[in-house]
Homo-oligomer: A and B are copies of this chain.
Amino acid sequence: MPYRRSAFFISDRTGITAESLGHTLLTQFDALEFKRETIPFVDTVEKARGIASHIRERAAADHHRPLVFSSIVNPDVREAVKVDEALCIDFFETFIGQIEHELHHKAELSVGKAHGVVNEERYDHRIEAVNYSLSHDDGIKMKGLDEADVILVGVSRSGKTPTCLYLALQYGIRAANYPLTPDDLGHDGLPAQLLAHRQKLFGLTIDPLRLHSIRSERRRDSKYASVDNCRYEVNEAESLFRQHGVPFLNATHKSIEEIATTIVHQAHLTRRF
Protein backbone atom coordinates (compact mmCIF):
# COMPACT_ATOMS: atom_id res chain seq x y z
CA MET A 1 0.00 0.00 0.00
CA PRO A 2 1.56 3.37 -0.95
CA TYR A 3 1.95 5.90 1.80
CA ARG A 4 -0.90 8.31 1.32
CA ARG A 5 -2.61 10.65 3.71
CA SER A 6 -6.02 12.17 3.37
CA ALA A 7 -6.14 15.92 3.87
CA PHE A 8 -9.43 17.69 4.50
CA PHE A 9 -10.13 21.40 4.22
CA ILE A 10 -13.33 22.16 6.05
CA SER A 11 -15.17 25.41 6.44
CA ASP A 12 -18.49 26.92 7.46
CA ARG A 13 -18.32 28.99 4.28
CA THR A 14 -16.40 28.64 1.01
CA GLY A 15 -13.32 26.82 2.33
CA ILE A 16 -11.02 29.23 0.50
CA THR A 17 -9.17 30.28 3.66
CA ALA A 18 -8.74 26.74 5.01
CA GLU A 19 -7.56 25.57 1.61
CA SER A 20 -5.19 28.45 1.13
CA LEU A 21 -3.23 27.94 4.35
CA GLY A 22 -3.62 24.15 4.37
CA HIS A 23 -2.29 23.99 0.85
CA THR A 24 0.67 26.24 1.71
CA LEU A 25 1.59 23.94 4.58
CA LEU A 26 1.25 20.72 2.60
CA THR A 27 3.40 21.94 -0.30
CA GLN A 28 6.29 21.74 2.16
CA PHE A 29 5.98 17.95 2.11
CA ASP A 30 6.33 17.31 -1.57
CA ALA A 31 7.73 13.82 -1.09
CA LEU A 32 4.44 12.67 0.40
CA GLU A 33 1.19 12.08 -1.38
CA PHE A 34 -2.03 13.62 -0.14
CA LYS A 35 -5.57 12.94 -1.19
CA ARG A 36 -7.20 16.31 -0.79
CA GLU A 37 -10.85 17.04 -0.19
CA THR A 38 -12.51 20.39 0.42
CA ILE A 39 -15.82 20.43 2.24
CA PRO A 40 -17.44 23.88 2.29
CA PHE A 41 -20.60 25.16 3.98
CA VAL A 42 -20.39 22.98 7.11
CA ASP A 43 -22.55 25.30 9.17
CA THR A 44 -24.60 23.07 11.45
CA VAL A 45 -23.65 20.58 14.16
CA GLU A 46 -25.56 17.93 12.25
CA LYS A 47 -23.53 18.43 9.07
CA ALA A 48 -20.36 18.52 11.16
CA ARG A 49 -21.18 15.14 12.72
CA GLY A 50 -21.63 13.65 9.26
CA ILE A 51 -18.24 14.98 8.23
CA ALA A 52 -16.66 13.56 11.39
CA SER A 53 -17.95 10.07 10.49
CA HIS A 54 -16.62 10.49 6.99
CA ILE A 55 -13.17 11.39 8.36
CA ARG A 56 -13.20 8.39 10.72
CA GLU A 57 -14.04 6.05 7.85
CA ARG A 58 -11.23 7.47 5.79
CA ALA A 59 -8.79 7.04 8.68
CA ALA A 60 -9.73 3.36 8.91
CA ALA A 61 -9.43 2.84 5.16
CA ASP A 62 -6.13 4.73 4.83
CA HIS A 63 -4.43 3.15 7.85
CA HIS A 64 -3.03 6.64 8.42
CA ARG A 65 -4.41 9.53 10.41
CA PRO A 66 -5.91 12.15 8.09
CA LEU A 67 -4.99 15.82 8.40
CA VAL A 68 -7.98 18.06 9.00
CA PHE A 69 -7.57 21.79 8.42
CA SER A 70 -10.65 23.74 9.34
CA SER A 71 -11.75 27.31 9.71
CA ILE A 72 -15.05 27.33 11.56
CA VAL A 73 -16.41 30.24 13.57
CA ASN A 74 -19.14 28.55 15.60
CA PRO A 75 -17.54 26.66 18.53
CA ASP A 76 -20.18 23.89 18.60
CA VAL A 77 -19.83 23.14 14.90
CA ARG A 78 -16.06 23.29 15.22
CA GLU A 79 -16.00 20.78 18.07
CA ALA A 80 -18.33 18.41 16.24
CA VAL A 81 -15.88 18.11 13.33
CA LYS A 82 -12.97 17.07 15.52
CA VAL A 83 -12.13 13.39 15.78
CA ASP A 84 -9.42 11.55 17.68
CA GLU A 85 -8.52 9.56 14.59
CA ALA A 86 -7.06 12.60 12.79
CA LEU A 87 -4.76 15.57 13.35
CA CYS A 88 -7.32 18.38 13.59
CA ILE A 89 -6.18 21.97 13.31
CA ASP A 90 -8.66 24.82 13.33
CA PHE A 91 -7.06 27.99 12.02
CA PHE A 92 -9.75 30.27 13.36
CA GLU A 93 -9.70 28.87 16.87
CA THR A 94 -5.92 28.93 17.09
CA PHE A 95 -5.68 32.69 16.74
CA ILE A 96 -8.95 34.30 17.69
CA GLY A 97 -8.26 34.28 21.45
CA GLN A 98 -4.88 35.90 21.01
CA ILE A 99 -6.38 38.65 18.86
CA GLU A 100 -9.29 39.22 21.26
CA HIS A 101 -6.76 39.65 24.02
CA GLU A 102 -4.67 42.10 21.99
CA LEU A 103 -7.70 44.16 20.94
CA HIS A 104 -9.47 44.00 24.32
CA HIS A 105 -12.55 43.15 22.35
CA LYS A 106 -14.70 40.04 21.94
CA ALA A 107 -14.99 38.43 18.49
CA GLU A 108 -18.49 38.70 17.08
CA LEU A 109 -18.49 35.06 15.98
CA SER A 110 -20.46 35.82 12.88
CA VAL A 111 -20.00 33.45 9.99
CA GLY A 112 -19.07 34.14 6.43
CA LYS A 113 -18.07 37.75 6.37
CA ALA A 114 -14.72 37.24 4.71
CA HIS A 115 -15.94 35.85 1.41
CA GLY A 116 -19.54 36.92 1.62
CA VAL A 117 -21.06 39.93 -0.02
CA VAL A 118 -19.89 42.32 2.67
CA ASN A 119 -21.63 45.10 0.91
CA GLU A 120 -23.12 45.57 -2.50
CA GLU A 121 -20.67 48.31 -3.32
CA ARG A 122 -17.74 45.91 -3.13
CA TYR A 123 -19.59 43.39 -5.25
CA ASP A 124 -20.42 46.01 -7.84
CA HIS A 125 -16.78 47.10 -8.07
CA ARG A 126 -15.70 43.61 -8.97
CA ILE A 127 -18.46 43.04 -11.51
CA GLU A 128 -17.77 46.39 -13.10
CA ALA A 129 -14.06 45.64 -13.20
CA VAL A 130 -14.75 42.28 -14.88
CA ASN A 131 -17.02 43.91 -17.44
CA TYR A 132 -14.44 46.61 -17.99
CA SER A 133 -11.68 44.05 -18.57
CA LEU A 134 -13.84 42.04 -20.94
CA SER A 135 -14.75 45.06 -23.04
CA HIS A 136 -11.13 46.25 -23.07
CA ASP A 137 -9.58 42.89 -23.77
CA ASP A 138 -7.06 42.54 -26.59
CA GLY A 139 -7.38 46.18 -27.55
CA ILE A 140 -10.98 45.60 -28.70
CA LYS A 141 -12.07 48.93 -27.40
CA MET A 142 -9.57 51.70 -26.90
CA LYS A 143 -12.17 54.21 -25.76
CA GLY A 144 -12.51 54.56 -22.04
CA LEU A 145 -8.83 54.00 -21.23
CA ASP A 146 -9.06 57.05 -18.97
CA GLU A 147 -10.94 54.82 -16.58
CA ALA A 148 -8.31 52.07 -16.61
CA ASP A 149 -6.27 51.55 -13.45
CA VAL A 150 -3.62 49.76 -15.49
CA ILE A 151 -3.09 48.75 -19.12
CA LEU A 152 -1.18 45.53 -19.70
CA VAL A 153 0.93 45.48 -22.84
CA GLY A 154 2.61 42.48 -24.42
CA VAL A 155 2.81 40.23 -27.45
CA SER A 156 0.01 37.81 -28.24
CA ARG A 157 -0.26 34.93 -25.70
CA SER A 158 1.96 36.48 -23.08
CA GLY A 159 -0.71 36.12 -20.38
CA LYS A 160 -2.43 39.50 -20.48
CA THR A 161 -6.07 38.36 -20.49
CA PRO A 162 -6.05 35.97 -17.52
CA THR A 163 -4.03 38.50 -15.53
CA CYS A 164 -6.54 41.27 -16.28
CA LEU A 165 -9.43 39.06 -15.24
CA TYR A 166 -7.67 38.03 -12.05
CA LEU A 167 -6.98 41.67 -11.19
CA ALA A 168 -10.66 42.45 -11.72
CA LEU A 169 -12.04 39.49 -9.79
CA GLN A 170 -9.58 39.51 -6.92
CA TYR A 171 -8.95 43.21 -6.44
CA GLY A 172 -11.69 45.06 -8.32
CA ILE A 173 -9.01 46.68 -10.47
CA ARG A 174 -9.94 47.89 -13.96
CA ALA A 175 -7.30 46.38 -16.18
CA ALA A 176 -7.32 46.89 -19.92
CA ASN A 177 -4.90 45.15 -22.20
CA TYR A 178 -3.28 45.94 -25.50
CA PRO A 179 -1.62 43.32 -27.70
CA LEU A 180 1.61 44.32 -29.42
CA THR A 181 1.04 43.08 -32.96
CA PRO A 182 3.77 42.84 -35.62
CA ASP A 183 2.60 46.29 -36.81
CA ASP A 184 3.53 47.77 -33.45
CA LEU A 185 6.99 46.23 -33.44
CA GLY A 186 10.21 46.91 -35.31
CA HIS A 187 10.24 50.67 -34.83
CA ASP A 188 10.85 52.94 -31.89
CA GLY A 189 7.55 54.55 -31.04
CA LEU A 190 4.86 53.31 -28.70
CA PRO A 191 1.54 52.61 -30.44
CA ALA A 192 -0.20 55.96 -30.84
CA GLN A 193 -3.23 54.90 -28.82
CA LEU A 194 -1.06 54.23 -25.79
CA LEU A 195 0.88 57.49 -25.77
CA ALA A 196 -1.67 59.38 -23.70
CA HIS A 197 -1.65 56.62 -21.07
CA ARG A 198 2.06 55.99 -20.64
CA GLN A 199 1.88 56.17 -16.86
CA LYS A 200 -0.61 53.33 -16.75
CA LEU A 201 1.30 50.87 -18.91
CA PHE A 202 2.71 47.66 -17.52
CA GLY A 203 4.50 45.21 -19.78
CA LEU A 204 4.39 41.43 -19.77
CA THR A 205 7.11 39.45 -21.40
CA ILE A 206 7.74 35.74 -21.72
CA ASP A 207 10.52 33.33 -22.62
CA PRO A 208 10.49 32.92 -26.44
CA LEU A 209 10.61 29.12 -26.28
CA ARG A 210 7.68 28.99 -23.89
CA LEU A 211 5.80 31.38 -26.18
CA HIS A 212 6.60 29.13 -29.12
CA SER A 213 5.16 26.16 -27.26
CA ILE A 214 1.97 28.05 -26.26
CA ARG A 215 1.43 29.44 -29.74
CA SER A 216 2.07 26.05 -31.33
CA GLU A 217 -0.92 24.67 -29.43
CA ARG A 218 -3.02 27.12 -31.41
CA ARG A 219 -1.36 27.23 -34.80
CA ARG A 220 1.25 24.58 -35.25
CA ASP A 221 3.93 25.22 -37.89
CA SER A 222 2.78 28.78 -38.51
CA LYS A 223 5.08 31.75 -38.84
CA TYR A 224 3.21 33.16 -35.82
CA ALA A 225 4.35 30.23 -33.66
CA SER A 226 7.87 29.79 -35.06
CA VAL A 227 10.78 30.08 -32.65
CA ASP A 228 12.40 32.79 -34.77
CA ASN A 229 9.28 34.92 -34.83
CA CYS A 230 8.63 34.45 -31.10
CA ARG A 231 12.20 35.49 -30.39
CA TYR A 232 11.89 38.52 -32.65
CA GLU A 233 8.59 39.69 -31.14
CA VAL A 234 9.76 39.26 -27.56
CA ASN A 235 13.02 41.10 -28.22
CA GLU A 236 11.24 43.98 -29.91
CA ALA A 237 8.62 44.21 -27.17
CA GLU A 238 11.23 44.26 -24.42
CA SER A 239 13.27 46.89 -26.19
CA LEU A 240 10.14 49.02 -26.56
CA PHE A 241 9.47 48.70 -22.80
CA ARG A 242 13.05 49.67 -21.95
CA GLN A 243 13.10 52.58 -24.34
CA HIS A 244 9.94 54.12 -22.93
CA GLY A 245 10.49 53.28 -19.31
CA VAL A 246 7.51 50.91 -19.16
CA PRO A 247 7.91 48.62 -16.14
CA PHE A 248 7.60 44.97 -17.12
CA LEU A 249 7.92 41.49 -15.75
CA ASN A 250 8.70 38.11 -17.18
CA ALA A 251 5.64 35.88 -16.77
CA THR A 252 7.27 32.61 -17.80
CA HIS A 253 7.76 31.01 -14.42
CA LYS A 254 5.00 32.82 -12.57
CA SER A 255 1.45 31.83 -11.75
CA ILE A 256 -1.43 34.18 -12.51
CA GLU A 257 -1.54 35.08 -8.81
CA GLU A 258 2.12 35.99 -8.78
CA ILE A 259 1.90 38.07 -11.94
CA ALA A 260 -1.16 39.94 -10.68
CA THR A 261 0.21 40.51 -7.18
CA THR A 262 3.52 41.74 -8.55
CA ILE A 263 1.75 44.26 -10.78
CA VAL A 264 -0.42 45.55 -7.92
CA HIS A 265 2.70 45.93 -5.80
CA GLN A 266 5.06 47.45 -8.36
CA ALA A 267 2.53 49.74 -10.00
CA HIS A 268 1.15 50.82 -6.59
CA LEU A 269 -2.39 50.03 -7.67
CA THR A 270 -5.18 50.67 -5.22
CA ARG A 271 -7.51 47.79 -4.58
CA ARG A 272 -11.13 48.72 -4.91
CA PHE A 273 -12.01 46.86 -1.71
A 228-259 to B, binary, CB cutoff 8 A, 1 in contact else 0: 00000000000000000000000001111110
The answer to whether the Cβ of A199 comes within 8 Å of any Cβ in the partner chain is: no
Shortest distance from the beta carbon of A47 to any chain B beta carbon, whole Å: 12
* A115–chain B nearest beta-carbon distance, Å: 4
Q: When chains A and B are docked, how far (Å) is the Cα of A109 from the Cα of B29?
A: 9
Are B161 and A134 interface neighbours, CB within 8 A? yes
- Per the bound structure, the CA–CA distance linking A135 and B272 in Å amounts to 27
Q: State how many copies of this chain the complex holds.
A: 2
Contact: A115 with B255, CB < 8 Å?
A: yes
Whole-angstrom distance between the alpha carbons of A41 and B257 in the complex?
12
Interface stretch of the complex, out of A16-24, A54-62, A173-181: A16-24
- Interface centre among A28, A65, A113, A166, by most chain B C-beta atoms within 10 angstroms, is A28
Bound complex: CA A102 to CA B114 (Å): 30
Q: Which of B15, B20, B91, B159 contacts A261 (CB 8 A)?
A: B15
A14 to B29, CA, bound (A): 20
Q: Which of B31, B110, B127 contacts A105 (CB 8 A)?
A: B31
Q: Of B113, B115, B127, B162, which is within 8 A of A30 by CB?
A: B113
Pairs A-B, 10 closest by C-beta atoms: A27-B113, A28-B107, A14-B261, A24-B114, A115-B257, A87-B102, A20-B20, A17-B20, A130-B162, A117-B255
Q: Is A80 an interface residue (CB 8 A)?
A: no
Give Cα distance in the complex from A92 to B94, angstroms: 12
Whether A5 is near chain B, meaning CB under 8 Å from some CB there, is yes
In the complex, the answer to whether A89 meets B98 with C-beta atoms within 8 Å is: yes
Whether A126 sits at the interface, judged by CB under 8 Å, is yes
CA distance A162 to B30 in the complex (A): 33
CB distance from A154 to the nearest CB of B (A): 14
A195: chain B residues at CB < 8 Å are none
| A165 touching B169 in the complex, CB below 8 Å, given contacts A87-B102, A98-B87, A108-B30 | yes
